A and B are shown apart, each in its own frame.
Chain A
Amino acid sequence: MPDLSLVVNGEPRSLEVEGRTLLVHALRDGLGLTGAHVGCDTSQCGACTVLVDGRAVKSCTVLALQAEGTEITTIEGLAQDDGQHPLQRAFVEHHGLQCGFCTPGMILTAHDLLSREPDPDDETIRRSLRGNYCRCTGYQTVVDSVRAAAAELAR
């Protein structure tokens, strides 16, 4: 089987994958990073979102081998120190999650957005999270969380 080498959450990793292996399965089953969730498995729900070279992608719709040589960030690697990333903290404080299944994808997509637009309006936040479905809280608290995180990151 082909070897895959990439940097995951700051650490060089390599593993054997099949040509058909999806990135989400390489992360979950190969590297034990189960924060990327398989939700719909049809590139709709966004629960499998991870950052590839800083950009949000749906890891159920990328072959693992397409990620050769890239830098991947999963929810496990977002916090820079022992604490939480401001986005994680904001989701907790503003009730941006209930069951939490969609949360890694929501946060990583929001991370991509804020890296390009540090002060987005609500309409931009909503449009950017269009590819992330939440089936419990509704979206208002998610938007509130992203806005709060943007404010904290701007400080």
Chain B
Amino acid sequence: MIPATLDYHRATSLEDAFEALAEPDARALAGGQSLLPMLKLRVARPSLLVDIGGLGLDAIELTGDELRIGALATWGALASAIELDSPGLAAVAECAAGIGDLQVRNRGTVGGSLAHADPASDLPAVVLALDARLELRSPDGERSVAAADFFRMPYTTALEERELIVAVVVPVPPSGSGSAYVSVEHPASGYALAGAAALVRSDATTSVAITGVGGRAVLLPEGGSLDGVEMYGDRFAPEEYKRHLATVVVGRALERATQRVEGAR
């Protein structure tokens, strides 16, 4: 399978990328682990790919009470980042370590995945549960969008034309918190049939989000109730089964996050 004819431009700076992205049907390319398969299936047929992979933007930094993940950080870098070595941020590392396989984690980026917004991708649940925000940049300037406002529909986000994710900013959970990400994967694709991220704080309040079961990841009400959450079945997992799996992963994520709270004491 070979992509349809396209032009390729290696961006030398964000400004250069924005200029190139002015072409109609241009698309930004990061690690390509989501986009390349779409190009090969010709589901996506951009006229121009603007490769932002060489722009750096891959730092993972703890600054004060925030974790800042550069959009071009790879899953592999995230999974082994010492900055995530705390019970409160454990869900981020756990999620990153479970993405795809070693080769995909070597190339796939956090920002690329979030912009792709596959409804079964894992990280959306984690950024929702941890109340992260996304830093976006366009020729018009910068803005910050809460994860809860970013994911709209399958493969559809709040990104405007010529707008790129530059970082994901996660507030460091208060000390004494624990978090976890648990999924049940489709064994061939590795994508989540259902995945849940849970944050449990020392005062026992929780934030839980679910992915893989509907059109987008959603934050659940306090306590992780799944009542009223829209879910779709597919040929691999009927809706009833997804609903069952969702209950299971939410329960496991809460349990593991709680264990981490206790481990932190």
Contacts and interface: CB of A to CB of B under 8 A. Distances in A.
A111 to B, nearest CB: 11
Given A20-B8, A43-B37, A65-B8, 7 more contacts: A19-B7, A20-B4, A41-B1, A42-B37, A57-B103, A112-B102, A131-B104
B8 A46 contact: no
A102 B7 CA distance: 32
B143 interface: no
B9 to A, nearest CB: 9
A63 B4 CA distance: 12
Contact of A20 (B5, B103, B188): B5
Chain B, interface size: which category? Answer: 20 to 34
Given A57-B106, A63-B49, A130-B101, A43 B5 contact: no
Interface string A46-86: 10010000011110111101101000000000000000000
Q: Nearest 8 pairs between A and B by C-beta?
A: A131-B101, A19-B8, A20-B3, A55-B106, A130-B101, A61-B36, A58-B103, A65-B8
Contacts of A42: 1, 37, 40
A62 B8 contact: no
B33 interface: yes
A113 B7 contact: no
Nearest to A116: B80
A62 B7 contact: no
Centre residue among B3, B4, B189 by max chain A CB count within 10 A: B3
Contacts of A22: 2-3, 36, 40
Given A19-B49, A68-B10, A56 B102 contact: yes
Contacts of A60: 40
A63 B36 contact: yes
B101 A61 contact: no
A9 interface: no
Given A20-B3, A41-B40, A63-B8, A130 B33 contact: no
A112 B29 CA distance: 24
Interface of A: 2, 18-22, 25, 41-44, 46, 49, 55-58, 60-63, 65-66, 68, 109, 112-113, 128-132
B101 A62 contact: no
Interface string B43-76: 0000001010100000000000000000000001
Contacts of B1: 41-42
B10 A43 contact: no
B32 A20 contact: no
29 contacts: A19-B8, A20-B2, A20-B39, A22-B3, A41-B1, A42-B1, A42-B37, A42-B40, A43-B33, A43-B36, A43-B103, A43-B104, A46-B103, A55-B106, A55-B107, A57-B103, A57-B107, A58-B104, A61-B104, A62-B32, A62-B36, A63-B51, A66-B29, A66-B53, A68-B10, A109-B103, A130-B101, A131-B102, A132-B101
B6 interface: yes
A132 B36 CA distance: 19
Interface string B103-138: 110110000000000000000000000000000000
A113 to B, nearest CB: 7
A58 B7 CA distance: 22
A118 to B, nearest CB: 15
A44 B10 CA distance: 27
B10 A65 contact: yes
B176 interface: no
B103 A2 contact: no
Contacts of A20: 2-6, 8, 39
